Amino acid sequence: MRNTKRNSRRDVLILVAVLAAVVARHDLAFAQAQRVKWLRVGSLHSWYSSWGAEIELGRVPGDLTKQQDGLRWPADFQFQDCEVGKAMWVGVTNFLDSRNNVTYPHKVVGVGPRQGNVVIPGEVFPRDMKLIGRFLAPTVFVDGTIASQNAFEDLVDEVEPELKADRMIVNTSHTAIGVTVTRKLMAFAQQNHDNYLVYEYVFKNTGIIDNNGTAVPKRLTGFVAHFQWRLASGHEAFQLGWAPENNINWGRNTVHDVVGQNPNAPNFEFRALYSWYGPHSRSAVDDWGAPNPNDGRLAGVQYIGNAVLHADKSAADKSDDQFQPKTTMYLSADRGEYPGSTTNFLGPSSNQFDADLMSAKYRAMSAGHPARTHAQEVGNGFANLFGTDLGGYEQAQGFGPYDLEPGDSIRIVIAEAVAGISRQKSVEVGTNWYKWHSNTGNPTLTLPNGATTTDFNEYKKQWVQTGKDSLFQTFRRAISNFRNSYDIPQSPPPPKLFEVQSGGDRVVLTWSDNAESWPNFKGYRVYRAIAKPDTFYQQVFETQVPNIVHRFDDTSARRGFDYYYYIESFDDGSTNDVNPGVSLISSRFYTKTSEPAFLRRPAANSLSAIRVVPNPFHIRASSLQFGNQAPDRIAFFGLPPECTIKIYTERGDLIQTIEHTNGTADELWNSLTSSGQIIVSGVYIVHFEVPRDLISQETGELLFRKGEAIFRKFIVIR
């Protein structure tokens, strides 16, 4: 009996190991099979999967810090992601499955919205994915090093100079119901159209049901295309630690609304879904805009949504059916509660052989419009307290039903957008709110309509809510662009080559002249940021025709500071479709540098020139030393071309060794010891030693002898 138990336990362990290996192989296969491409040329950046939908935790599996990942706006700044996950389901009625000879009342397959149980082998078969561009991303160098994120994330596969969008991803997948899905994802860099992305879907009855191209032609009835969005604003508040609760990270408090369900209704303009950060019940302050209670910074100003640009009436009638989508539901995010179903399908799950599950999903995909939207249900309450799903709720829309003969197709076009008050306005409003909230400011505040108020919470709320107007304006521009066959005026291209070189007394910027052949080209502008790339930039240079130059020497740069740049080409404004007379500009994201440039002094010719800056180092004065960019920075100036820098405590313990080899007079230190600890208050001794004889390459003169050395002391106050 003992051996039987032991063998049974061994068999269980073997079975567990086998299952783990299968799961691991599946996870590996998924990681290898999925291809990811970015659209990141405008102010709205997002990633896309070859699977046909961007599932939750799909780009970086398992990393909860990336739960909000995609739909980044404004993309100039970190932690502006608004997307948690997406889904694309396709379903039909009365489907005879040739693989098991079973007829299902409803057959539903697809991708998303969640990770793990939603990319099921045998449901969706990704085929092709490529990024097409009007031109390649510019080459950007800082001190000879590639210094642009585009070098890694804007990898164009094909160049089409006549492409109307700046970038377009083409992605094709087959599905187990025999419908092939082709989506074209388009981004526009022109500044009036750069915060929305256009998605063109074509669902074609090819009969192909697997990755081998096996075709089983048949008539498909009741075809429905379903899209689902799990959205969340306030990512910055979560990442930087002032979120009222971590569930904002998956959208528990997101509020959803719908417009344009009935095209016969008065004032009908467009049909759209949109969502925003709903004030959270656990916040210690008025939570409109997700303010930081310590300084007022607003993290939740984004309004996110999509507008339907076109949906075929039928496979034979390609005119726009303004009654599509027929379904605009809000669905539970975690519990899998589907309208009309008494069963809770945990997940939401996906299983193309579970008839009850597929019927429940199909009912949700084709349920119509609820009597009241999610926003109406929440009302003046808190969205994070609404409903029974602790994961919150998601926007969903279903197009159809359509009947598709073999070869028939349906085209659906959607514009996805993010808008809100600008970052500058967000800082202004948040700062004003904080002053009044903390009783340190003037009680009179100006509202968006020009009126004044003394209610600082109402002031903040009204400014944040103007994001809805901005989003709707974005929808109008996307609709106009689509109706004009994407023939918007294009901005001039950026320089193909942009180089930044750190110098001894200046930073030198040079660029190529390819943009000057563009019609109505007028000139270039250079912008600069200090300390970090995700902050506000100031214009530091402009050159116009006929006196165009291709070099700028930034002589106002100061030693010890990091500098980031971008250059934009601009025209004379004669073709601006929104603001006539205002120049159209190339996107800053083409040339923004991701690596710092900083002044480098020529090497000194005497060790006596060495200085430690600042000395003393005082943590409370760090913003006056090298700014908030590097509060722990200590600089060694006046160095020889090469030397070994050894830093000791006052009692002689060696805490760090730095090899200075860049041939300049400067070396910057982050105050970390060799074990990664920040140095504490005290007196420190620095030993500078020349490691070898140093000969002048110009004169052949001996500059320094091997072993020459000098000591310096500095004080740290923390």
pLDDT at 668 over 70: yes
The letter for the amino acid at 486 is Y
Looking at residue 626, its pLDDT comes to: 76
pLDDT attached to residue 346: 52
Q: In what order do the strands lie in the sheet with 682-689?
A: 617-618, 709-717, 682-689, 643-649, 654-660
**Phi, psi dihedral angles at 286 (to 5 degrees):** -55, 125
- pLDDT of 533 > 80? The answer is yes
- Mean local confidence (pLDDT), 29-38: 70
| 233 in Cβ contact with 304 (< 8 Å) | yes
H/E stretch holding 39 reads: strand 36-39
Largest CA distance in the chain: 97
Phi and psi, residue 272, nearest 5° = -155, 155
Task: Tell me which amino acid residue 652 is.
Answer: G
Look at residue 115 in the predicted model and tell me its pLDDT.
59
Indicate the SS3 state at residue 605.
Answer: coil
Q: Is the pTM of this model over 0.75?
A: yes
Confidence check: pLDDT of 265 > 60: yes
Dist. CA 623–CA 610, nearest whole Å? 23
Query: What is the DSSP annotation of 472-513?
Result: HHHHHHHHHHHHTTT-PPPPPPPPSEEEEEE-SS-EEEEE--
Q: CA-to-CA distance for 197 and 416, rounded, in angstroms?
A: 5
Q: DSSP states of 563-589 as a string?
A: EEEEEEEEE-STT-SSSTTSPPB--GG
CA distance 445 to 450: 9
Q: For residues 531 and 114, which has the higher predicted lDDT (pLDDT)?
A: 531
Q: Are 55 and 86 in contact (CB under 8 A)?
A: yes
What pLDDT sits at residue 583? Answer: 97
Same fold, 497-590 and 607-717: yes
pLDDT exceeds 80 at position 341: no
Q: DSSP states of 140-175 as a string?
A: EEETTEE--THHHH---SEE-TT-SSSEEEEEEEEE
The domain defined by 37-136+155-285+302-419 folds into Beta-galactosidase; Chain A, domain 5 (2.70.98)
Residue 444 to residue 366: CA distance in whole angstroms: 50
Q: Which fold has domain 607-717?
A: Immunoglobulin-like (2.60.40)
Q: In what order do the strands lie in the sheet containing 254-259? A: 158-159, 124-133, 167-175, 179-187, 196-205, 409-419, 303-311, 272-277, 254-259
Kindly tell me the burial class for residue 370, based on how many C-beta atoms sit within 10 Å of its own C-beta (0-12, 13-18, 19 or more).
middle
Q: How confident is the model at residue 316, as a pLDDT?
A: 98
DSSP code, position 337 = B
Indicate whether 362 pLDDT > 50: yes
pLDDT at 118 over 70: no
Closest CA to 290 of 79, 63, 446, 84: 79
The letter for the amino acid at 639 is L
Percent of the chain with pLDDT over 70: 92
| Pairing verdict, β 654-660 and 667-669 | unpaired
Which tokens in the block code for residue 517? Answer: 């052949």
- Phi/psi at 25 (nearest 5 deg)? -65, -40
Name every residue whose Cβ is closer than 8 Å to that of residue 45 and which is 6 or more positions away in sequence: 38, 39, 70, 72, 73, 75, 589
pLDDT at residue 560, rounded to an integer: 87
Residue 59 has pLDDT above 80, yes or no: yes
CB 11 within 8 A of CB 40: no
Q: What pLDDT score was predicted for residue 340?
A: 61
Q: Residue holding tokens 């700044």?
A: 77
Distances (CA, A) of 303 to 54, 258, 391: 20, 13, 20
Q: Is the peptide bond before 121 cis (omega within 30 degrees of 0)?
A: no
Q: pLDDT class for 382, splitting at 50, 70, 90?
A: very high
Mean pLDDT of the chain: 91
Please give the Cα distance from 459 to 442 (Å, whole number): 13
The DSSP bridge pattern shows strands 196-205 and 179-187 to be antiparallel
CA-to-CA distance for 233 and 239, rounded, in angstroms?
12
Domains of the chain, residue spans? 1-33, 37-136+155-285+302-419, 497-590, 607-717
For residue 99 the two structure tokens come to 């693989």
Read off φ and ψ for residue 571, nearest 5 degrees.
-105, -170
Q: Is 413 helix (H, G, I), strand (E, B) or coil?
A: strand
Helix, strand, coil percentages for the chain (3-state, nearest 5): 20, 35, 45
HEC per residue, 619-672: HHHHHHHCCCCCCCCEEEECCCCCEEEEEEECCCCEEEEEEECCCECCEEECCE
Residue 40 and residue 133 in contact, taking contact as beta carbons nearer than 8 Å = no
Other Cβ atoms within 10 Å of 667 Cβ, number: 18
Angle at 261 between CA 260 and CA 264, to 5 degrees: 80
| Distance, CA of 146 to CA of 522 (rounded, Å) | 28
Q: Compute the distance between CA of residue 212 and CA of residue 550 in angstroms, rounded to an integer.
A: 54
- Residue 51: helix, strand or coil by DSSP? coil
pLDDT at 439: 82
Q: What is the mean pLDDT of residues 342-348?
A: 56
Task: Answer with the residue of higher pLDDT: 16 or 615.
Answer: 615
Residue 70 token pair: 């995609």
Q: Which of 278-287, 421-430, 496-505, 708-717 has the lowest mean pLDDT?
A: 496-505
Burial of 569 (0-12, 13-18, 19+ CB in 10 A): buried
Burial class (CB in 10 A: 0-12, 13-18, 19+), 77: middle
Q: What was the pLDDT predicted at 21?
A: 38
Higher pLDDT, 6 or 451: 451
Q: Residue 8 pLDDT > 50, yes or no?
A: no
319-323, 350-354, 378-382: the lowest-pLDDT one = 350-354
Give yes or no for a contact between 183 and 409, defined as CB atoms under 8 angstroms apart.
no
pLDDT at 345: 59
Nearest to 685, CA basis, from 658, 716, 662, 652: 652
Given the structure tokens 């106002």, which residue do they identify? 556
In this prediction, residue 491 carries a pLDDT of 96
- Return the DSSP state at 678: B
Burial track 415-427 (b if 16+ CB lie within 10 A, e otherwise): bbbbbbbebebbb
Stretch 632-652: mean pLDDT, rounded?
94
- Integer-rounded Cα Rg, in Å, for the chain is 30
CA distance linking residue 434 with residue 442, whole number of Å:
11
| Mean local confidence (pLDDT), 598-624 | 88
Angle between helices 423-437 and 456-483 (to 10 degrees): 170
Give tens-digit pLDDT for 415-470: 999 999 999 999 999 999 999 888 877 778 999 999 999 999 999 999 999 999 99
Q: Which DSSP string corresponds to 53-109? A: S--TT-SSTT-GGGSS-S-BSSTTSSS-B-EEEEEEEEEEEEEEETTTTEEEEEEEE
Instruction: Quote the percentage of the chain above a pLDDT of 90.
Output: 81
CATH architecture, domain defined by 497-590: Sandwich (2.60)
Neighbours of 375 (CB within 10 A): 17
